[in-house]
Structure 1
């Protein structure tokens, strides 16, 4: 008998496709949620030509800045996407399609903790899109945010992880650069999806 996370079911039937939606299918795909102005996305794609990064940004101003840099030096293994990450992933990703997921310096949602990524029922769906053995990198400059996410990994999601202090020379995103220059303690969780990990969305495929 399969054991699923003890969290309410993500209401997938209420999620509509984004405007001007189209599927981007690639082998060896990775996903970045909240790509901002694209600093990490552009650097990651340049360093990992064997991987294809789907980089999603919802905010129009940040996406346009990202797109401008991408168009100046386009990379064939990078797809900038202007959309809500939840809606796009529900309609655009297949089960176990992703090798890596990056959530770097997300909004900590101080007034609405239920909207933090590991607190949302959506996180179960996101796990279903990740390959067995795949990883999720979650970075923040807020120690309590990382501590809560670590507790959720242990108590709700039953996922192994490693917590790391981010070195001062790192500068993957504009936020990371700013925080480290200020001397703020930045850290990350590297979360791994074990072999045979089950979700209630493992057979769900809107892309068919």
Structure 2
């Protein structure tokens, strides 16, 4: 068995986020499930949920102020297929999501971590765990306005993760997030990588079930 050449993610050490509550079973079962990590004020989340009523989107944001803004937008739009979560995404994913549960994952304009490259998504062991939650044929969309970030991600996909992907230039009229609007108005090059999980792709976490709040954080 050949796994990605990266140290294993230590999922068993992660405590559940504060006030963790599993997603209601009927919510997860009624629609295909998608995930957005770092959803900010929820512009993309609300737009996606509105345009895809048959999909269930879980949108996670760690910053309280941004989460509250997203929650307000979700309520005002009356989007029953959007679930907003205030938590750190990594422990939440470990405690809440099942193997091969997600149809799509969105990582739109993540923090480029200029002083700590090991915290970039495709450099983290957690990325292998995240892949285990993605179904065969599912996609991950990673968007950034930083050319070096995109170039590094492409290198990691080729050398470490060995996943098929498509590199795309973001259209000038795209307006998925507040950051994207700002960057495009400045004339910056915004790009996205669409990563696909192929048939037969295996991780070390394919049989690991969610912990569902075990060992809650005090």
Which of the five TM-score ranges fits, normalised by the shorter chain?
A: over 0.9
Q: Does the 8 Å contact 1:23/1:207 carry over to 2? A: no
Show the counterpart of 1:19: 18
Paired residues, number: 207
Structure scoring higher RCO (CA < 8 A, sep ≥ 6) equals: 2
Show the counterpart of 1:159: 163
Show the counterpart of 2:144: 140
Distance in 2 (alpha carbons) for counterparts of 1:63 and 1:53: 15
Show the counterpart of 2:198: 194
Show the counterpart of 2:68: 64
Show the counterpart of 2:216: none
Distance in 1 (alpha carbons) for counterparts of 2:140 and 2:97: 16
TM-score (normalizing by structure 2): 0.93
| Stretch moving more, 65-74 or 137-146 | 65-74
Over aligned residues, Cα RMSD in angstroms?
A: 0.9
TM-score (normalizing by structure 1): 0.98
Query: Is 1:102 paired with 2:106?
Result: yes
Distance in 2 (alpha carbons) for counterparts of 1:184 and 1:74: 34
Give per-residue Cα distances to partners, 1:110-132, cap 9 Å, x unaligned.
00000000000000000000000
Q: Deviation at 1:146? A: 0.3
Q: Deviation at 1:207? A: 4.5
Q: Which runs of 4+ in 1 moved over 2 A?
A: none
State which of 116, 122, 138 in structure 2 corresponds to 1:112. Answer: 116
Q: Which runs of 5+ in 2 are unaligned?
A: 213-218
**Matched residue SS, 1:101:** strand
Query: Is 1:6 paired with 2:5?
Result: yes
**Matched residue SS, 1:8:** coil
